[in-house]
Amino acid sequence: MEYPQRKTTRLKNYDYSTPGYYFITVCAKGKKKLFGDVAAGDEFSQSQPVRSKRGEAVCEQLEAMTGFYSNIVLEKYVVMPNHVHLLLQVKDEQGTRPSTLSGFVGTFKRFCNKSCGENLWQSRSYDHVVRNERDYQRIWEYIDNNPSRWTEDSLYTP
């Protein structure tokens, strides 16, 4: 019996350990709201994520990742109710083995699962190679504004 082949979202023949910037989205298993919710803002403040214990564990693991991957910098992130957006920089460090994004994401997911004592994540993640300064700024703003646009998000679940 042949199974359908999953389509890859990755660029063909691109080395994901190449120095540069990358936008990663990792979804909760079944896109369930495991990481909290979003508190609506008012006229003076934006909407903000309200994290559950799992959401707090995800934040802690993200912050700890810098100690494991010296050439990957966590530029910006947001933990949403059922997914996480990451803006990462892969730096060119002489004398160190290059780290791959898949290794970073896999380690992050594994540490979160261990910390929470359950499998939190879908098996795959989405990645985007940041192509220029304009693309970087667009992604930065998207991450900033994601909580305020939660109900319009393609990953939104009530």
Residue range 113-141: average pLDDT? 96
Q: Which domains are present in the chain? A: 20-149 (3.30.70.1290)
**Count of C-beta atoms within a 10 Å radius of residue 109:** 20
pTM here is 0.87
Instruction: Quote the mean pLDDT of the chain.
Output: 88
Segment holding 72, helix H or strand E: strand 72-79
Structure tokens at 39: 């508190």
More confident call, 40 vs 114: 114
- The 10s digit of each residue's pLDDT in 68-81 is 888 899 999 999 99
- CA separation (Å) from 37 to 78, 79, 80, 83, 116? 12, 10, 7, 11, 18
Segment holding 109, helix H or strand E: helix 101-116
Q: By CB neighbour count within 10 A (0-12 exposed, 13-18 middle, 19+ buried), where does 127 fall?
A: buried
pLDDT of residue 21: 96
pLDDT of residue 11: 62
